[in-house]
Structure 1
Amino acid sequence: MLCYYTEEYCPEALSHALKSRLPNVPFIGCSSCKGIMTEHGYHEGPVVGVLFIHNDSACAYGSAIADLEHESHGDPQLIQRLIDEALQDADRVGEVPNLILLHATPGCEERYIDAIDETFGTHIPIIGGSAADNMIQSRWSLISDKGASRNGIAIQLCFTSKPLTTGFGAGYSPTTFKGEITLAQGRLICEIDGLPAKNVYQQWINEHAGESISEQYIFDHIARFPLGVVAGSIYQQPYYKLTHPIYFLPNGCVELFAEIQTGKEIQLMTGSREQLICRASRVVKEANTQNYHESLVCGAIIIHCAGSMLWLGDGIQQVYEKLNSQMNGQSFICPFTFGEQGRFIGGENAHGNLMISSVIFYDSE
């Protein structure tokens, strides 16, 4: 089971209630920004939504959660311990899952992905989203059948007998404005082409769109102009990993919701309303093209960025209509997160912002 909910719900009480009613069902979930979406529509909060996946006895699922108040966020041994616990929970010690669900509170998602890849020695498909709240006030949280956390990480290892496909995409287009990151640290860009990153970013937006971005960060405005780094290419066409600013700092640095490295080329990206309305259904459609045996779609998990959802406003209803049409009315659940984890078409797992991540489940032939 997966469970998504808005910040109005107490995660400890929710986890306890679900565990009491479903004592033998492994689950994880996280808080979602302002609402959730299912095949029945967009549901504005306060709201709780669940998705059940029922498989035969050959399948297994194992979950684990860690609270990071007293742990090192970037410690690979923490991920190793969680994976060991989840493998034991699934009774699949020594085996490799075919899907990993990942939810964490914002902060170190890239390190978690790297540690997962290193532990298994291969790029197992990951789908996930960073817990969100309504106003970036750290009111986010995680739940699982093992407990709850307001600062942590939860994983679920999935050993499924039926086929599945995954998708991960941006839906924004590159502009002509780009430069080299000449100074970065963690999730801070300090300099682009030797100049204060804040000034460069503001200038790019002004020259591209004729708009001035004030010192005070406005979440649904900045979502129109993320920053992109080329993650790879397919048929000589680049695909991008996106991030976006949270705050402008007094020293000229720009704080992001994802890590960035010195020496990378970074580019101003842009997206029209029509692009953002269509992209969730497009990511699902592209994932479904991997369904080589044309098996019957029976459900999906879709992770949608909160930033573009907020910018779209009432347009989220059109997102739902296109997505539901693409899914042919089959069950799906979609939270709105502050970071998305997924597997690019090139096979690598990554964490980004303003992205769409999906996994589609099929009936066997």
Structure 2
Amino acid sequence: MRVLRHCLDAADHTCLCDQLVALEQPETACLSIAFGSVHAISALSSCHYATTLSANWVATSSCQDAFSDQATEGSHHLAILQFIDPIGAYGVASRHSDSKTIVEDSKAALQQALLAANKPGELPAFIWCSPSPGLEEGLLTGIRELIGNDVPVFGGSSADNDVSGNWCMFDGQQLIQTGFIIAVLFPSVPISYYFSCGYEETPYSAIVTAANERQLISLNNQPAADVYNAWRGHNSQTPLPAGPVLAASTFSPLGRIVQQYEVSMALLSHPASIRADGSIDLFSQVNTGERITFMQGDTELLVERAATVSGIARQQLSNLYDSKPQAAIVIFCAGCMLAIPDDIKRVHHGIRQALENIPFIGGYTFGEQGRFADGINRHGNLMISAIIFGSDNESV
């Protein structure tokens, strides 16, 4: 298998189309995974040559811009990773969907993707997904109901620049705003991955005593916002009033702690707004009976964690498969990026060093999906993931 990385200027539609034509690939890629601004993904969807370049696309809009190992200035870049793998098998399916139909749509799309890969009834080595915000838990539920937790599922939710709902995805045929794209991968090389966050636990926690999907109503039978603001006070942070709190809560999210092999891992939920009744709207779902922990972060934790996650995934590829890394995909939450705008170049530099300068692409997403060490695929916020594609004998 060969993996090709391209970083193109997508500010102008005509210029982007010319760049795609100029790539002059010897053969059509089996799959292309891409990130870019909303403008860049929209421009890609208008380039008819895209279907000649790749049989399948999962192109996801990223907050402000995409990033890659190629240092670039400006905006509206299109970062593409293409897989040329005649021995492997790949299939993509998509759906326009909503919260009422997402679970069944997820199962139907997964079956369609497996059929497209000519692997009906088989378990892929890996699933890559691109959902619009709000559909992530349903998408994972559908996958789980169909094939269990035996296959790692990774991806990033589509994003825009101001949470106005202009995010989009391109599957090679159509532009999707509310829905998802799912890809099944049966590659001829090994894959390793890691999913984590750049935040630390505090001593403060409580039980969810009332919740309605992404609305956290009460903690320990008290209004959720009252408990959250008390925790902020204990941590020398200013209490937050009713209204939007997305930016103000970035360094103080809520976490659900997963224990595995005596190691604690946190799955984060990002508070989006506080309602007048004292409930909190989150960017991920919480359930009654779960224990919620107050988390804390800072610039250095986020900068260092991106490199750490990438380095762990790279080391696992060597330890588990004795394979050298060929290329990577890195997901970095948009909320984290917006919180440290002056340090984001340090994040990119750390990733390059951790991956030993192999080609990679990345996006700033409004939600992150990945597999924890306990084998469960989950959706969270303010998370970081890295997926490493190994080399076969011909690629080394």
One-letter amino acid matched to 2:158: A
One-letter amino acid matched to 2:187: T
The correspondence of residues 140-159 of structure 1 with structure 2, limited to 5 A, is 140-159=167-186
Per the alignment, residue 309 of structure 1 pairs with 337
Q: Does the residue aligned with 1:285 lie in a helix, a strand or coil?
A: helix
Measure the CA separation in 1 of the matches of 2:63 and 2:75: 8
Q: Does the residue aligned with 2:140 lie in a helix, a strand or coil?
A: helix
Measure the CA separation in 2 of the matches of 1:171 and 1:205: 18
- TM-score, reference length from structure 2: 0.86
Does 1:245 find its partner at 2:259? no
Does 1:126 find its partner at 2:157? no
- The count of residues paired between Structure 1 and Structure 2 equals 360
Measure the CA separation in 2 of the matches of 1:213 and 1:43: 36
Q: Does the residue aligned with 1:77 lie in a helix, a strand or coil?
A: helix
Measure the CA separation in 1 of the matches of 2:91 and 2:46: 18
Per the alignment, residue 63 of structure 1 pairs with 92
Per the alignment, residue 7 of structure 1 pairs with 38
Alpha-carbon shift at residue 20 of structure 1 (Å): 4.5
Q: Deviations over 1:210-230 (max 9, x none)?
A: 323243424333110010011
Per the alignment, residue 267 of structure 1 pairs with 293
Q: Percent identity?
A: 29
Measure the CA separation in 2 of the matches of 1:27 and 1:18: 13
| Aligned residues: CA RMSD | 1.8
Per the alignment, residue 284 of structure 2 pairs with 258
**Residues 287 and 72 of structure 1, relative CA distance in 2, 3 Å threshold:** same
- TM-score, reference length from structure 1: 0.93
Q: Structure 1 residue aligned with 2:63, among 33, 46, 66?
A: 33
Alpha-carbon shift at residue 75 of structure 1 (Å): 4.2
Q: Structure 2 residue aligned with 1:48, among 78, 90, 94?
A: 78
Per the alignment, residue 22 of structure 1 pairs with 52
Q: Is the 8 A contact 2:197 2:382 kept in 1?
A: yes
Does 1:89 find its partner at 2:116? yes
Does 1:193 find its partner at 2:223? no
Q: Does the residue aligned with 1:14 lie in a helix, a strand or coil?
A: helix
Alpha-carbon shift at residue 249 of structure 1 (Å): 1.1
Per the alignment, residue 296 of structure 1 pairs with 324
Q: Is the 8 A contact 1:37 1:334 kept in 2?
A: yes
Q: Is the 8 A contact 2:44 2:50 kept in 1?
A: no
Q: Is the 8 A contact 1:165 1:359 kept in 2?
A: yes
Alpha-carbon shift at residue 41 of structure 1 (Å): 3.0
Greater relative contact order, per chain length (Cα 8 Å cut-off, separation 6+): 1
Q: Does the residue aligned with 1:176 lie in a helix, a strand or coil?
A: strand
Q: Deviations over 1:177-221 (max 9, x none)?
A: 111111111000011111111121122112212323243424333
One-letter amino acid matched to 2:286: I
One-letter amino acid matched to 1:66: R
Q: Deviations over 1:26-68 (max 9, x none)?
A: 111211011111001365533322121222x211211111112
One-letter amino acid matched to 2:369: Q
Q: Is the 8 A contact 2:214 2:282 kept in 1?
A: yes
Measure the CA separation in 2 of the matches of 1:280 and 1:18: 35
Per the alignment, residue 177 of structure 1 pairs with 204
Measure the CA separation in 1 of the matches of 2:38 and 2:312: 32
Q: Is the 8 A contact 2:218 2:224 kept in 1?
A: yes
**Residues 125 and 43 of structure 1, relative CA distance in 2, 3 Å threshold:** farther
Q: Structure 2 residue aligned with 1:343, among 345, 356, 371?
A: 371
**Residues 210 and 72 of structure 1, relative CA distance in 2, 3 Å threshold:** closer
Alpha-carbon shift at residue 232 of structure 1 (Å): 2.9
Q: Deviations over 1:230-273 (max 9, x none)?
A: 12322x22211101111111111100000000111101101121
One-letter amino acid matched to 1:39: D
**Residues 88 and 46 of structure 1, relative CA distance in 2, 3 Å threshold:** same
Per the alignment, residue 168 of structure 1 pairs with 195
Measure the CA separation in 1 of the matches of 2:203 and 2:161: 33
Does 1:325 find its partner at 2:353? yes
Q: Is the 8 A contact 2:208 2:288 kept in 1?
A: yes
Q: Does the residue aligned with 1:8 lie in a helix, a strand or coil?
A: helix
**Structure 1 unmatched runs, 5+:** none
Measure the CA separation in 1 of the matches of 2:51 and 2:287: 46
Measure the CA separation in 1 of the matches of 2:74 and 2:239: 31
Q: Does the residue aligned with 1:41 lie in a helix, a strand or coil?
A: coil
